[in-house]
Amino acid sequence: MKTKFISPATVKRLPRYYRYVLQLEKQGIKKVSSKELANTLDFTASQVRQDFCQFGSVGQQGYGYDISILKETLLNILGLNREYDVVIVGAGNIGKAVANYPGFKNDGFKIKAIFDVEPGKLKNYDIKMIEDLTSYVETENVDIAVLAVPMDVAQDVATIIEKSGIKAIWNFSAVDINVSEDTIVENIFMSDSLYILSYMIDKKQ
Amino acid sequence: MKTKFISPATVKRLPRYYRYVLQLEKQGIKKVSSKELANTLDFTASQVRQDFCQFGSVGQQGYGYDISILKETLLNILGLNREYDVVIVGAGNIGKAVANYPGFKNDGFKIKAIFDVEPGKLKNYDIKMIEDLTSYVETENVDIAVLAVPMDVAQDVATIIEKSGIKAIWNFSAVDINVSEDTIVENIFMSDSLYILSYMIDKKQ
């Protein structure tokens, strides 16, 4: 079920739909209306309807959307209907948090190896040396590298990852990294979320 | 300089403007155009101009925006012109990562105490017991609680935080929490970012 074009604004909302649909499924609920989705997720009902139009056939307006079809559709659109091989680069607090992240494995993200500049052990993994990343990637499939190193070395390590041939980076390093257009980068900037929080606190006072 | 209404869509873009303006300032740059902001941040130039209209006077279109005025304006809007007293609840990997987050202190977020169910030490902090949170808040000002506990206890701990009188929660627990409307919650869902990454990888293939 490869889909039509999905607008960037809709893409940003996909994970929240998906998480909420999983939650409804767990509760044994079979149908959900655009109004309920909008209320719970703090979107407008018209956003929800427009988003769902882009998904193809997931239900009829007025009758509500079928949870199991919706789940399957979102799973397919998000590319969660397959497995991803992941390496974590950086075995500090963030690397550890990612390695221990619940649901990571359930969603099909499989941690294959952990790299750092220091040897050691993390969960069941013997930490490999970062200089061995390239030779590792020569023999093993890696879809995603988690970049979890201190900000002052983030660019250098990103370059190593890119040169190794890994095509996607999940960047936790708190700085923007420069890689070729060919490499997919998704950033988690903790500070962005913190600034939104301070905005909300300040606005309220 | 308290400002007019700022639309939710604009609010979401504020942290990225702010980070980029800081970066330009570091590079000694004095002015930036809406076009350059748009290109770098992947917004449209018209979004940038509309956003900046809401900020009040930050420069004249065609002449570019003055970096130092822009920085000051964003700092004020984001509520970063003051200090926030923070407690971290949960001293696991995520609590540790937050405690060690660079720039946290520079942005005016001051970690005052760390709570957990197990005693111990984290950085310079003696970990306090979660059951002592309420009495702590009676004598100490706390603006923000970082919720960094496992998902199965997240709701219970969120309730404890709320009852203690803390009015804002930065939620890393990977589940939605129910608190009164009076309590501000900002969530960091790692999985949302991961799903966007899988979407981008899958779309490319």
Contact across the interface for A107 and B194, Cβ inside 8 Å: yes
pLDDT, mean of residues B154-168: 97
For B108, nearest residue in chain A (alpha carbons): A198
Contacts of B79 in chain A (CB under 8 A): 198-199, 201-203
First to last CA, chain A: 49
Asked if B18 contacts B58 with a C-beta cutoff of 8 angstroms, the reply is no
A1 in B contact zone (CB under 8 Å): no
Which residues of chain A from 55 to 94 reach within 8 Å of chain B, CB to CB? 77-80, 82, 84, 92-94
pTM of the model: 0.86
Residue B107: DSSP 8-state: T
Quote the tokens at residue B12. Answer: 């979401």
Nearest to A174 among B103, B109, B200 (CB): B103
* Beta strands A64-66 and A59-60, pairing class: antiparallel
Contacts of A183 in chain B (CB under 8 A): none
Contact across the interface for A18 and B195, Cβ inside 8 Å: yes
For B42, nearest residue in chain A (alpha carbons): A8
For B41-87, write each residue's pLDDT tens digit. Answer: 888 888 998 898 888 766 666 678 999 999 999 999 999 999 999 99
Complex-level ipTM beyond the 0.90 threshold: yes
What whole-number distance in Å separates Cα of residue A42 and Cα of residue B81? 29
For A82-94, write each residue's pLDDT tens digit. Answer: 999 999 999 998 9
Contact across the interface for B186 and A167, Cβ inside 8 Å: no
Contacts of A194 in chain B (CB under 8 A): 104, 107, 109, 170, 186
Q: Kindly report the nearest CA distance between residue B76 and chain A, in angstroms.
A: 9
For B121-138, write each residue's pLDDT tens digit. Answer: 998 999 999 999 999 999
What's the Cα-to-Cα distance from B20 to each of A56, A109, B30, B166, rounded to whole Å? 38, 31, 13, 31
Contact across the interface for A201 and B170, Cβ inside 8 Å: no
Give chain B's length. 205
For A48-76, write each residue's pLDDT tens digit. Answer: 988 988 887 666 666 789 999 999 999 99
